[in-house]
Amino acid sequence: MEDAWDIACLLIQLWLSVVFGLIMLPAMCGASLGVTEIYIKVLVKTLEWATLRIQRGQRDQPPLQAQLSNGIIQKEDGSMEKEIGELRRSWPKNLAGGEFTLCDAFYFCRKGIESIVEDEVTQRFTSEEMASWNLLTRTNNNFCYISARVTIIWGLGVFIRYCILAPLRITLALIGLSWLVIGTTLVGLLPSSRGKNWLSDLVHLTCYRICARGLSATIRYHNKENRPKKGGICVANHTSPIDIVILANDGCYAMVGQVHGGLMGVIQKSMLRSCPHIWFERSEMKDRTAVANRLRAHVADKTKLPILIFPEGTCINNTSVMMFKKGSFEIGGTIHPVAIKYDPQFGDAFWNSAKYNMVSYLLRMMTSWAIVVNVWYLPPMTREEGEDAVNFANRVKSAIADQGGLVDLSWDGGLKRGKVKEAYKEEQQKMYSSMVVG
C-alpha cells in the first residue's frame, strides 16, 4: 500500500514539474518553447490526411452539392410599392386608387416565406459549418467508420484529447484562476501607486497567458502598432467568453460587466481591488445615464486602462458581425476597433448560451484540438462632426467586418433570445397603410 502511495506521489510531482517548468514559467515570461507550434503543424497534417482518406472513401458516392440560401429563391430586391404594383397588374384600378386588394396578401406571404428560408439571424446562433471533418467526436459520428485507418486515428484523437489534454488544460485553468484571485487580492492591499499598477498588470497578464496555454491557444496579432491605449475604448466582435483571454493575453484592459454571485463574484471582487474595472449592479445596468456617466469618467482619466466592450451584447458564431449597441459610442473618446476571427478547423469557439451553460462550454473547449485565432488591431477611430452615435457604430462595425472577413449584418443580436421589436412591424404596417389610404 505504501509503495502504491509513493508511486502516486511521484507521478503527481512529475506532473506538476512538467506543468510548472515547461508550460507555466514560459507563459509567465511571455515566451514559448515551440511545443504548441509543432503540435499545430502535426495536427494540420493529420487533418489533411484524414480529409483525403474520407474523400477516397466517398469516391463512389455522388458528391453533395452545397446549396446556398441565395440560390433557393430567385428574387429581385424592390420596394413594397413596386412589387405590390406588379401583383395588381390584372386589377382594373391602379395603385393610387387607395383601396385594398386581396392579391396584396400574396406579397406578405411571399416575404414571410423568403424570410424563413433565407433567415440571416437564427443561423448566426448555430455552429459554423465546416468544409471538412476535423476528427472531433461531436461534429460527425459517421465519418469515423469510413476507413479503418481513419477510425484508428479518430480513436487515438479521442484518447489524447480526453485523457491527456483535458486534464492538463483543467489543471492550468485552475492554476490561472487561483493565481488571479490570490494575486489581485494581495496587490489590492497595496496603496495606490505606479508600482501597484505595474504589479496589477503583471498579475493579469500572467493569469491570462496561463489560461491561454490551457486552451492550447495559438494567437496571431496583426498591426500591433494600433493596440488600444489608455483612456480609450476597445470594441470587438464577440464570439466567445474566451475573447477576453485572447485580447488580454497581449495587453491589459478594464472590464465592463454586471455583478455576479458565486465564484464569478469572488473573481470580480478580487480583480476590482487591484484594477479599476467597472462592475454594475443589475439595477444600474438598466439606468443608461448612470452607465454612461461611469464610462465617461473612466475614459476621461488618461492614466486608466482602455475599456474593453463587446457592443453586440451576445456571442455570434464567428461568421458575422451584428448590430452594435450605440451606448459605447455616445460617451466620446477614441474608439480602438479590433477584429477577432477563429479558425473553425481546430474547434468551434462559438458559445451557444441557449444550448450550453458555461461549464459545459468550457469543457467542450478543453476537449477540442486547439484554439487558433487571428486578431487585427485597426487604426483608432473618432466620431466625425455631425455624425450621430448610430452611424458611428455602423462605421466601426463595417471596418471590423471587412478586416475579419465577416458578414456585416444590421440585425440586433438580442433576437437570439427575444422577439422582433414591434417598431419593425409597425414600420411595414405604416408603409402599406400609406399605400392603401393614398
State the residue range of the domain holding 372: 136-417
The DSSP secondary structure of 107-118, one letter per residue, reads: HHHHHHHHHHHT
Q: Is residue 114 part of a domain?
A: no
Q: Is residue 22 part of a domain?
A: no
What is the per-residue pLDDT for 25?
Answer: 66
How far is residue 205's CA from residue 109's CA, in Å, rounded to a whole number? 55
What is the per-residue pLDDT for 284?
Answer: 65
**Average pLDDT over every residue of 140-153:** 69
What is the per-residue pLDDT for 187?
Answer: 87
Is the pLDDT score of 290 beyond 90? no
Q: What is the pTM of this model?
A: 0.77
Kindly list the distances between the CA atom of residue 218 and the CA atoms of 39, 41, 174, 292, in Å, as whole numbers in the listed order.
10, 11, 20, 35
- pLDDT band per the 50, 70, 90 thresholds, residue 73: very low
Is the pLDDT score of 131 beyond 90? no
* Whether 180 contacts 271, CB under 8 Å: yes
- pLDDT band per the 50, 70, 90 thresholds, residue 95: very low
Handedness of CA 258, 260, 264, 270 (dihedral sign): positive
How far is residue 61's CA from residue 55's CA, in Å, rounded to a whole number? 10
What is the per-residue pLDDT for 78?
Answer: 63
The three grid cell numbers given for residue 313, joined into one nine-digit string: 451584447
What is the per-residue pLDDT for 223?
Answer: 92
- pLDDT band per the 50, 70, 90 thresholds, residue 96: very low
User: Considering its fold, how many domains does the chain have in total?
Assistant: 1
* Whether 251 contacts 209, CB under 8 Å: no
How far is residue 255's CA from residue 411's CA, in Å, rounded to a whole number? 25
Provide the b/e sequence for 248-266 (b: ≥16 CB within 10 Å).
Answer: bbbbbbbbbbeeeeeeeee
How far is residue 51's CA from residue 47's CA, in Å, rounded to a whole number? 6
What is the per-residue pLDDT for 335?
Answer: 92
How far is residue 114's CA from residue 71's CA, in Å, rounded to a whole number? 12
The pLDDT tens digits of the residues spanning 254-277 come to 888 777 777 677 788 888 878 888
| Best-predicted range by mean pLDDT (94-108, 139-153, 171-185) | 171-185
What is the per-residue pLDDT for 396?
Answer: 93
Q: Is residue 58 part of a domain?
A: no
Q: Is residue 47 part of a domain?
A: no
- pLDDT band per the 50, 70, 90 thresholds, residue 70: very low
Strands (E), 250-393: 254-258, 278-280, 307-309, 320-321, 335-342, 371-377
Q: Is residue 1 part of a domain?
A: no
Bridge partners of 408, per DSSP, are 321
Length of the chain (residues) = 438
Pairing outcome for strands 320-321 and 307-309: unpaired
What is the per-residue pLDDT for 21?
Answer: 62
What is the per-residue pLDDT for 355?
Answer: 81
Is the pLDDT score of 235 beyond 70? yes
Q: Is residue 428 part of a domain?
A: no
Q: Worst-scoring range by mean pLDDT, 92-96, 118-122, 314-318, 400-404? A: 92-96
The pLDDT tens digits of the residues spanning 180-232 come to 888 888 888 888 888 888 888 888 888 888 888 888 888 999 999 999 988 88
Nearest to 186 by CA among 200, 202, 206, 198: 200
Is the pLDDT score of 137 beyond 70? no
* Whether 362 contacts 211, CB under 8 Å: no
What is the per-residue pLDDT for 149?
Answer: 79
Q: Is residue 52 part of a domain?
A: no
What is the per-residue pLDDT for 268?
Answer: 80
